[in-house]
Amino acid sequence: MGSHPPGLTWALIEEARARIAPLINATPVLTSTTLDQAAGAHLFFKCENFQKGGAFKARGASNAVFSLPEGQVRHGVATHSSGNHAAALARAARLRGVPAYIVMPNSTPLAKRAAVERQGAEITLCEPTLAARERAAAEVIARTGAVLVHPYDDLAVMAGQATVGVELLEQFPDLDLVLAPVSGGGLLSGIAVAAKTLRPKVRVVGVEPAGADDAARSLRAGRIVPCEHPQTIADGLRATIGVRPFAEFQRYVDDVVTVSDGAIVAAMRHIWEVMKIIVEPSGAAAYAAVAAGRLEVRGARVGIVLSGGNLDLESLPWLKPARE
Amino acid sequence: MGSHPPGLTWALIEEARARIAPLINATPVLTSTTLDQAAGAHLFFKCENFQKGGAFKARGASNAVFSLPEGQVRHGVATHSSGNHAAALARAARLRGVPAYIVMPNSTPLAKRAAVERQGAEITLCEPTLAARERAAAEVIARTGAVLVHPYDDLAVMAGQATVGVELLEQFPDLDLVLAPVSGGGLLSGIAVAAKTLRPKVRVVGVEPAGADDAARSLRAGRIVPCEHPQTIADGLRATIGVRPFAEFQRYVDDVVTVSDGAIVAAMRHIWEVMKIIVEPSGAAAYAAVAAGRLEVRGARVGIVLSGGNLDLESLPWLKPARE
């Protein structure tokens, strides 16, 4: 591999961990005899659905907002996000005492929009395309002087998300494999650097919806290949992998596998029914890869990141009339 | 108080605890900053929805089945139950290697019926009245020679349920108040004996649906006053308090308060949204008493038993069209 930009280091992750410790939950790891038997493996579910704000995003957003110098952060922070990062950034800004400006696609689920409003952020709605989001964010920043905190293509955000991996490997040091969902890649890149530092032998595999498989295709191509029109029920997994996360993927991620939307919904429902915990579709994707047999796990000790639990309880995917 | 039958003792509870330890989960206690702030109190949620089979009933059923002498238990066990006790008894029988015969009202939610079938028990459906249930159970017992394990009016069952209180007071020894739902009274009577033994100053309060408030009325009357036609969405809380549980209520339970079905559904939904865990309506009743202001908790340390998490995910109460 040739030259590359400065990447995510263990030092950045350790700093992030100390910085955000008072701002986040160290989340529990749950196990299930029933799901272990179904998989023929030992599964360790890292419950980021129990994180502050209901998703891992609290980690990266808190690290980014609290690592900014006072002089930079005082006019506030801004982002464009489909939901969980937005609420997490709004919360971190409130805790630091600065304003937050959030650009959201108008297709964002109501529950995620309400979560941002509860944190007192200013919301700007836009069309659900990357171009519209970036344009609206640029306008907000020009108007307010706020600092952009990108949802994933940002080393401070990645270092914050990496603490999921640090906690998981401390809680269960002898994992053979760690699975996490992939959208922009901030979570999995952070976990990969953390996990391979703490346990070089561990395999780290990402899981993507088949209809938003840019990371899998990018890894194969050796360059970022965006999905022009991502199609998946997992509203948190539609972003294209970022430049900085992709660099870490190339160094540290062993594979990215894909799962169908049907497998995601089935996995989500199975988690609800058996584990009695609420995960959103994106949060169930990593387990879906196991349940649908998308990779070999027999006999292995597998860490599975349940990344979030925010969704409209009015419109569960198994209750929707079939439309396709 | 005059003479009374031999009651639930600490010795029975300690025996139960040792007996069932390998058969059940020691369930976690979760906390929520958001719900603490809403209540103005410190809430400690004892998660029996994470118990084996998704409800506290695994404790009492396991204790009853495993305390029966071999000569008595070999033709199996039988019960009539609206669901969670039935599945728990079926599981305990399977673990002991004896048959289970379950009489269920034909109004039982599908998810609860399927849980019994998965444990390999024989199911007999009957009309949803106490008389029909008892008649069907008597027929099954006459035919099979099975031993009746009553869902709540049984000291071995009560001693098993009491271990919820033992664990909770060990996990958080300085609680001011413990709240649990009341149906036949097995759970709350057990918790009351355990909690008052471990911490005599603790208050123990039961919570009933307003439409099935026989325990509250019975405590006031000083004798059991059945609800002829219980009306509540909480399908696990429709039974009339049993003789043995009622005796412990009179000695150890400080109060029983009631909550409306609307308060139960709102509490259930709030727990799902904020805590990201699944509780059934019966399981949310104790928190409903706090959320609806049915008793004074300000500043107190309150243990709240989330008794179970089994329900049809196809028919959530907030999705049903209003019918009344």
Cα separation, B31 vs B171, in Å, equals: 12
Catalytic residue among B62, B67, B81, B82: B82
CB B184 within 8 A of CB B241: yes
Are A168 and A308 members of one domain? yes
Contact residues, chain B to chain A, C-beta under 8 Å: 28, 30, 49-50, 54, 111, 269, 272-273, 275-279, 309, 313-314, 316, 318-319
- Nearest CA to B41 out of B165, B179, B150 is that of B179
Q: Residue B69 is part of a domain; what is its CATH number? A: 3.40.50.1100
Mean pLDDT computed over B41-65: 97
Cα separation, B180 vs B255, in Å, equals: 11
Give the DSSP letter of residue A245: H
Q: What is the pLDDT of residue B323?
A: 45
Are B125 and B268 members of one domain? no
Are B74 and B205 members of one domain? no
Of A273, A279, A313, the CB nearest to B273: A313
Q: Are strands A301-306 and A42-47 parallel, antiparallel or unpaired?
A: parallel
Q: Which of these three, B103, B124, B148, is where a domain ends?
A: B148
Q: Which two tokens stand for residue A304?
A: 């599975």
Spell out which residues of chain B touch residue A54, defining contact as CB-CB under 8 Å.
276
Q: Is B21 helix (H, G, I), strand (E, B) or coil?
A: coil
Indicate whether B19 pLDDT > 90: yes
Q: Which of these three, B97, B128, B148, is where a domain ends?
A: B148
pLDDT in tens, chain A (324 residues): 445 557 999 999 999 999 999 999 999 999 999 999 999 999 999 999 999 999 999 999 999 999 999 999 999 999 988 689 999 999 999 999 999 999 998 988 787 788 899 999 999 999 988 889 889 999 999 999 999 999 999 999 999 999 999 999 999 999 999 999 999 999 999 999 999 999 999 999 999 999 999 999 999 999 999 988 999 999 899 999 999 999 999 999 999 999 999 999 999 999 999 999 999 999 999 999 999 999 999 999 999 999 999 998 988 999 865 444
* Domain range enclosing B30: 10-57+154-319
Q: What is the pLDDT of residue B98?
A: 98
**pLDDT tier at B321 (50, 70, 90 boundaries)?**
low
Cβ atoms < 10 Å from Cβ of B200 = 7
Indicate whether B5 pLDDT > 90: no
CB A230 within 8 A of CB A238: yes
Q: A276 and B276 in contact by Cβ < 8 A?
A: no
- Which residues does residue B257 pair with via DSSP β-bridges, in sequence order? B207
- Nearest CA to A260 out of A295, A221, A302, A231 is that of A231
- What would the pLDDT profile of B245-270 be if each residue is shown by its tens digit? 999 999 999 999 999 999 999 999 99
Of B28, B275, B313, the CB nearest to A272: B313
- Nearest CA to A121 out of A108, A131, B66 is that of A108
Whether A5 is in a domain gets the answer: no
Are A186 and A296 members of one domain? yes
Whether A1 is in a domain gets the answer: no
Give the DSSP letter of residue B55: B
Hey, of A31, A273, A307, A315, which one would you mutate to test binding to chain B, going by the most B CBs within 10 A of its CB? A273
**pLDDT tier at B319 (50, 70, 90 boundaries)?**
confident
Q: What is the pLDDT of residue B285?
A: 98
State how many domains chain B has: 2
Of B49, B276, B318, the CB nearest to A50: B276
- Which residues does residue B101 pair with via DSSP β-bridges, in sequence order? B78, B122
Q: How far apart are the first and last CA of chain A?
A: 44
- What would the pLDDT profile of B126-184 be if each residue is shown by its tens digit? 998 888 988 999 999 999 999 999 999 999 999 999 999 999 999 999 999 999 999 99
Residue B67's identity, in one-letter code, is S
Are B163 and B265 members of one domain? yes
Q: What is the largest CA-CA distance in chain A?
A: 56
Indicate whether B236 pLDDT > 70: yes
- What would the pLDDT profile of B188-235 be if each residue is shown by its tens digit? 999 999 999 999 999 999 999 999 999 999 999 999 999 889 999 998
ipTM of the complex: 0.92
Are B34 and B97 members of one domain? no
Mean pLDDT computed over B104-130: 88
Are A198 and A125 members of one domain? no
Whether B246 is in a domain gets the answer: yes
Question: In Å, how far is A251's CA from the nearest CA of chain B?
Answer: 35
Are A51 and A75 members of one domain? no
Cα separation, B47 vs B51, in Å, equals: 7
Question: In Å, how far is A302's CA from the nearest CA of chain B?
Answer: 21
Hey, CA dihedral for A296, A299, A301, A305, is it positive or negative? Answer: positive
Q: What is the pLDDT of residue B322?
A: 45
Q: Please give the full DSSP string across B67-111, using - where no structure is assigned.
A: HS-HHHHTT-EEEE-SSHHHHHHHHHHHHHT--EEEEEETTS-HH
Are A102 and A172 members of one domain? no
Q: Which of these three, B93, B126, B148, is where a domain ends?
A: B148
Are B124 and B197 members of one domain? no
Torsions phi, psi for B173 (to 5 deg): -70, -15
Element (H, E) at B230: none
Give Cα separations from A75 to A68, A70, A71, A219, B54 (angstroms): 12, 9, 9, 38, 49
Q: Which two tokens stand for residue A3?
A: 């030259």
